Amino acid sequence: MIQSVFKDLLFFMAFFLIIIFAFSMMMGLLVKIDTETYDVLGPISYYVMIFRTSIGDYNLDNYSKKSTYQELAWILWLLVMIVGNMIFMNFIIAVVNESYENCMSKMVAQSYKVKVDLIVERESIMKPSVFKKNKDWFPNFLIVRRAIDGEGSGNGGQWKGFVREISNNAEKSITKVQHDLTQKIQQNKTLFEEQMDDLTKKQSDLKELLEKVQTNQEH
């Protein structure tokens, strides 16, 4: 399960570190670093400071006393707190929760997989004589387990937890947009048909009028 969590967090953490790097570059222009705390870190001092700020561990003296642009520094601190501490931390919790739900939904299948791996490992170290003496251990058939009614595959097994909620909302939005477009197309079609009928009627009236004019001219 831990491996699955780290795999799901890999791209998210990479994006988080890029955001932290961007904020550290801006902070380096606005704030003087606390040499007593970050002197040994060298070039990555601002990176560590922003990372600490994003997880809620910050020193306000860096923003109030060591900055030549205090207003901009406090605005940047607020952005780091909102983006790093509020948004990204909640995203991490959501991703971990999703990974946990995925692991729990596949717990039975994973337990059988572990048992099969143990059996294969045990058989790999058996002597040939054991295979011959204990034929009941090795029947001439295989037991294949598969999901029932698409369980664990397709949309049912793919969308879990937070991602499933996003997927459902996206599907509802798409369905609503399709319904609205269908209604608008139908309304435009009805309006077009009415306009065509009106135009045909006017054309017929105009034709009758022209016939009357021609008749009067002949008389």
**34 within 8 A of 3, measured Cβ to Cβ:** no
Reading the block at residue 147, the tokens are 């999901």
**15 within 8 A of 84, measured Cβ to Cβ:** no
Sign, Cα dihedral of 39, 44, 50, 52: negative
Residue 152 has a pLDDT of 47
Predicted confidence (pLDDT) per residue in 75-94, tens digit: 888 888 888 888 888 888 88
Predicted confidence (pLDDT) per residue in 124-160, tens digit: 888 877 777 777 777 777 777 665 554 444 444 444 5
Backbone φ and ψ of 217, nearest 5°:
-65, -35
Helix (H, G, I), strand (E, B), or coil: what is residue 31? strand
Q: What is the DSSP letter of 63?
A: H
Q: Hey, where are the domains in the chain?
A: 2-104, 162-218
Residue 154 has a pLDDT of 46
Q: 185-204: b or e for each residue (b if 16 or more CB lie within 10 Å)?
A: eeeeeeeeeeeeeeeeeeee
More confident residue, 41 or 149: 41
> Given a cut of 80, is residue 116 above it in pLDDT?
yes
* Mean pLDDT value across the chain: 77
Residue 158 has a pLDDT of 46
The whole-angstrom separation of Cα 149 and Cα 90 is 34
Residue 67 has a pLDDT of 60
Cβ of 49: how many Cβ atoms within 10 Å?
26
Residue 42 has a pLDDT of 66
The whole-angstrom separation of Cα 56 and Cα 86 is 10
Residue 157 has a pLDDT of 46
Question: 162: pLDDT confidence band, cut at 50, 70 and 90?
Answer: low
Amino acid at 140: N
The whole-angstrom separation of Cα 159 and Cα 189 is 38
> Given a cut of 80, is residue 37 above it in pLDDT?
no
- Please give the distance of CA 42 from its chain centroid, rounded to a whole number: 36
89-92, long-range: CB < 8 A, 24+ apart: 89/54, 89/55, 91/12, 92/9, 92/12
More confident residue, 71 or 154: 71
The whole-angstrom separation of Cα 111 and Cα 206 is 84
pTM: 0.44
Residue 5 has a pLDDT of 75
More confident residue, 102 or 17: 17
Predicted confidence (pLDDT) per residue in 166-208, tens digit: 777 788 888 889 888 988 898 888 888 888 888 888 888 888 8
